[in-house]
Chains A and B, each alone.
Chain A
Amino acid sequence: MASMNTVLFISFLLFSAGVAGVLVRRNALVILMCVELMLNAANLNLVAFARHAGTVAGQAFALLVMGLAAAEVAIGLALVVALYRRKDTIQVDQINLLRG
């Protein structure tokens, strides 16, 4: 059985990969996937702590987070499609309508 630190370390690696992807990539689709990655890292932590404490609350919360992630993906992909229709691009650095 894995120790607590192993779980936390794996989750930390996943989260930092997600943060790096959000900050670095230009493609809006890849940025959305990286946000999903960060949510999964948080879920891993929730499950680990729930197991550590012997309660089920963490697993229930992880399930709720999973549903929320699905909703977020639906909205994000709809935004990407709408953006592609209007601007013919999904590169986030070319979308500067609000620049002063």
Chain B
Amino acid sequence: MVETFLAFIGRNLFLVFGLMAVGGALALVFSKNAVHSVVGFLFSMLSVAGCYLCMSAEFLAVAQLLVYAGGIVVLFLFVVMLVEMTKFKEKGLFQSQTPYALVAVAIGAAAIVGVFVSTWFTKSADVALTLDPGLARGLDVAKENSQAVSRGLFAGYLLPFEILSVILLVALVGAVTLAKKERV
């Protein structure tokens, strides 16, 4: 009994991590306390890293852990502590246009769910996410993940990478300028 359950979990590890991520996201959206929201966000990001591991994108999973759990969540926590939530009155958790917004989200979600339902039971839906060796062109993306990613990044997409570094510099200077106290 336990063994079959564990085997089921092992076969559907991606689904488990994905549902954990969705649970964290729901906790983020619907919790009253901002710190609880940050904890839900952290949980969701860790689960997404697990999803990356299940798709054998190991480098991306570690990068997700470092960037999100190590950097972004800490930044959010800093600002949550910095901003005294008790100083201003919270009129309510949700905005006044919430019913209209929920109707809009429901319409969009229903459209996408319709697409899913119409494709779920077709043949192509059962195709597992496996590598086609003819397409990999000598690179084993799954086995040597970081080598493959670095080759793709530095050989194929060098210009976007460099532009990203400039964007990071601009964001750094902009953040300092925005958050500085006195205007020069």
Known contacts: A33-B41, A56-B151. The answer to whether A70 contacts B34 by CB under 8 A is no
Q: Are A71 and B167 in contact (CB under 8 A)?
A: yes
Q: Are A74 and B175 in contact (CB under 8 A)?
A: yes
- Across the interface, B149 reaches (CB within 8 A) one of A21, A44, A59, A67, namely A59
Known contacts: A33-B76, A64-B161, A71-B168. The answer to whether A78 contacts B174 by CB under 8 A is yes
Known contacts: A33-B37, A71-B167, A82-B178. The answer to whether A24 contacts B131 by CB under 8 A is no
* B69 in contact (CB, < 8 A): no
Per-residue CB contact flags for chain B residues 167-181 toward chain A (1 = under 8 Å, else 0) read 110111011101101
- Across the interface, B28 reaches (CB within 8 A) one of A2, A30, A47, namely A30
* B4 in contact (CB, < 8 A): no
- Residues in A with CB closer than 8 Å to B38 are 33
Q: Are B15 and A2 in contact (CB under 8 A)?
A: yes
Instruction: Kindly report which residue of chain B lies nearest to residue A1, judged by CB atoms.
Output: B128
Instruction: Kindly report which residue of chain B lies nearest to residue A92, judged by CB atoms.
Output: B95
Q: Are B119 and A5 in contact (CB under 8 A)?
A: yes
* A-B CB contact pairs (8 Å), 17 listed: A2-B15, A14-B44, A20-B101, A25-B29, A33-B76, A40-B48, A48-B129, A50-B57, A54-B134, A55-B141, A56-B152, A56-B156, A62-B60, A74-B171, A77-B79, A77-B179, A92-B95
Inter-chain pairs besides A74-B75, A75-B178, A81-B79, 19 sampled, C-beta below 8 Å: A2-B55, A3-B125, A13-B25, A19-B105, A20-B29, A21-B29, A23-B102, A24-B29, A29-B80, A43-B48, A50-B141, A53-B135, A54-B133, A56-B152, A61-B157, A75-B174, A82-B179, A91-B88, A93-B96
